[in-house]
């Protein structure tokens, strides 16, 4: 093997490693929108969300307002408000959802996902704990 080939092979492997690492780290975040339509107009719903590695700061969502999370990983949330609650729910998984934005709504009938793209098209509601 020539001296040239001995030096080029490690450089090609290094370049390939850099390219693969760069592409895997640049996954685009999607917008996950959570609309509060469940509380009285003067009250707020509390959202405790996070992904598999970190908890996000607790957020209060006023009636009619949206809480928007930009994320690439799976997102779990727990919701509570005066008169109701909803336990841990996976509201985003890049393996399943292909939405952007992902439209979730706290409705009187339950936490509902309004899917317009991908395998989850339609309205899917989950009952509250109360």
Q: 78-114: per-residue pLDDT in tens? A: 999 998 888 888 999 888 778 889 999 999 888 999 9
Residue 102, burial from CB neighbour count under 10 angstroms (0-12, 13-18, 19+): buried
Report pLDDT for 38: 94
Q: What integer is the mean pLDDT of 120-129? A: 84
Least confident range of 9-18, 25-34, 37-46, 55-64: 9-18
Per-residue pLDDT at 20 exceeds 60: no
Report pLDDT for 94: 84
Report pLDDT for 130: 62
Report pLDDT for 22: 42
Mean pLDDT taken over the chain: 82
Residue 38, burial from CB neighbour count under 10 angstroms (0-12, 13-18, 19+): buried
Backbone angles phi, psi at 94, to 5 degrees: -60, -20
Report pLDDT for 26: 52
Report pLDDT for 67: 97
User: How far is it, in rounded angstroms, from Cα 37 to Cα 51?
Assistant: 24
Highest-scoring range by mean pLDDT, 6-10, 14-18, 57-61, 106-110: 57-61
């Amino acid at each position: 093997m020539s001296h040239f080939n001995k030096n080029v092979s490690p450089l090609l492997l290094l370049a390939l490693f850099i390219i693969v690492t760069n592409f895997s780290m640049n996954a685009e975040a999607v917008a996950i929108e959570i609309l509060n339509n469940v509380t009285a107009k003067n009250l707020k719903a509390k959202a405790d969300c996070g992904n598999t590695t970190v908890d996000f700061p607790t957020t209060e969502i006023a009636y009619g307002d949206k809480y928007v999370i930009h994320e690439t990983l799976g997102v779990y949330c727990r919701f509570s408000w005066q008169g109701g609650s909803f336990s841990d729910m996976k509201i985003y998984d890049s393996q399943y959802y292909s939405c952007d934005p992902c439209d979730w709504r706290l409705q009187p009938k339950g936490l509902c996902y309004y899917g317009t793209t991908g395998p989850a098209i339609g309205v899917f509601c989950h009952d509250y704990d109360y």
